[in-house]
């Protein structure tokens, strides 16, 4: 099933006066099921990504029907691959999954300096800063960004999540991050958890 087919089913549901927030709820349940099945080895990565793409498209489609922004957005996330690293496949997957789960995403791209993260936090006032890296030589930038956020007196205002191939829970704790995700599904769980803290 492609995105267009799902959209036409949603149009039918809207025509049948099914409340949009209920459609969003069902979509998020579906996404959560896809995440669980991926973690259990039943779904492949392509199926997880496609679920995310569909949910992202439906969120855009349903936005005008939802009455308040609270119905639409769980929280705002500033995300980027840290300075010295140009790899973005993992970061993009996390963006899709967070966005489809209901987060507003401010994607700063790759090679993002600590100063740029701080600037984005000051401007966007997000709930979460999410940093990614693939190269071990870029890992220190995560610590530097956390330090810069503290220096700019922004650290207490945001939760910081980290992830990427070389990142471990121990490393996340060591640098003072609030959460860690070993893949896109865990990143969504970490983001949800961070909002509750």
| Footprint of another protein (CB under 8 A) | 1-4, 38-39, 41, 44-47, 49-50, 53, 84-89, 92-93, 96, 110, 135-138, 165-166, 183
Angle at 42 between CA 37 and CA 43, to 5 degrees: 70
CB closer to another protein, 131 vs 138:
138
CB closer to another protein, 12 vs 45:
45
Q: At closest approach, how far in Å is the CB of 27 from another protein?
A: 17
CB closer to another protein, 84 vs 193:
84
CB closer to another protein, 124 vs 183:
183
Q: How many residues does the chain have?
A: 197
Q: At closest approach, how far in Å is the CB of 81 from another protein?
A: 10
Q: At closest approach, how far in Å is the CB of 197 from another protein?
A: 27
Q: At closest approach, how far in Å is the CB of 48 from another protein?
A: 9
Q: At closest approach, how far in Å is the CB of 108 from another protein?
A: 14
CB closer to another protein, 67 vs 136:
136
Angle at 53 between CA 47 and CA 54, to 5 degrees: 90
Is the distance from CB of 143 to CB of 161 less than 8 angstroms?
Answer: no
């Amino acid at each position: 099933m492609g995105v267009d087919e799902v959209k036409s089913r949603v149009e039918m549901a809207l025509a049948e006066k099914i409340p949009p927030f209920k459609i969003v709820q069902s979509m998020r349940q579906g996404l959560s099921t896809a995440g669980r099945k991926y973690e259990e080895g039943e779904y492949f990565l392509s199926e997880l990504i496609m679920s995310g793409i569909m949910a992202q498209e439906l969120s855009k489609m349903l936005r005008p029907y939802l009455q308040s922004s609270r119905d639409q957005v769980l929280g705002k996330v500033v995300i980027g691959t840290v300075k010295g690293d140009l790899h973005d496949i993992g970061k993009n997957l996390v963006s899709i999954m967070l966005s489809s789960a209901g987060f507003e995403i401010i994607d700063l791209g790759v090679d993002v300096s600590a100063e740029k993260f701080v600037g984005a936090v000051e401007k966007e006032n997000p709930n979460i800063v999410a940093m990614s890296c693939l190269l071990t030589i870029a890992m220190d930038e995560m610590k530097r960004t956390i330090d810069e956020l503290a220096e700019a007196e922004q650290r207490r205002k945001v939760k910081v999540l980290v992830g990427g191939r070389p990142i471990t829970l121990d490393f996340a704790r060591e640098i003072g991050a609030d959460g860690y995700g070993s893949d896109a599904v865990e990143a969504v769980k970490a983001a949800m958890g961070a909002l509750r803290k």
